[in-house]
Amino acid sequence: MPPPRSRPVVAVVLAVAVMVVGCSSGPAGPPDPFPPRPVDIAIERLDPCALLSDTTRSELQMGGARAGTAPVRGVSTQVCGWSSIRTGYDYSVQFLPEDAADAVGAPGTRVGVVEGYGSVRVIDRVGSYPLCEIVVDVGEARAIRARAAAITRETDGSPRPADEVCRRAETVAADALRTAVRGRTG
């Protein structure tokens, strides 16, 4: 048995050891690439066809909305599409049951912010009919994907500029977010 004076020292050492073990954690995962969300958006309560304002639909010369569903990793998701034969673009807004951060790091991606929400921009088919997706982080395992795709080429036969296609996708994403936040949250 230790002498009486050493008992307080043993108690202090034991308490410090317990605190150190209790405060340590396992290895940290990758940092979240996005800023904190202004507010979570409960996409399951929304209609993707109702997210674009008359102003945006007019500016992009969109035709009527086409509601539908599309599978994403085995889950049926809501999607709405619009075409603009006059301007040569297709657009869509889709609700995804996944984290937007899952798209980070794929070829052709860029992290950004739309209306205060973290986003990932994905560009594909640059050499033919460019497609640009803006995947926006709106909640845990919830994202809104806004797409713009060129369906025609320039008059000289060259592909549409990818930056212009992405500008249109960003316009759709920003308008959908503003409407979703007003309608919103959960």
pLDDT of residue 31: 57
Stretches where the chain sits below pLDDT 50 are 6-30, 185-186
pTM over 0.85: no
CB 172 within 8 A of CB 55: no
Domain boundaries defined on the chain: 43-183
Integer CA distances (angstroms), 165 to 9, 27, 47, 52, 177, in order: 69, 40, 24, 17, 19
pLDDT of residue 72: 87
pLDDT of residue 183: 76
- Domain 43-183 matching CATH 3.40.1000: the answer reads yes
Long-range residue pairs from 101-110, CB within 8 A, at least 24 positions apart, any chain: 101/32, 101/33, 101/34, 101/137, 103/135, 104/33
pLDDT of residue 74: 87
> What is the percent of the chain with per-residue pLDDT over 90, rounded to a whole number?
66
pLDDT of residue 9: 41
pLDDT of residue 10: 39
pLDDT of residue 5: 52
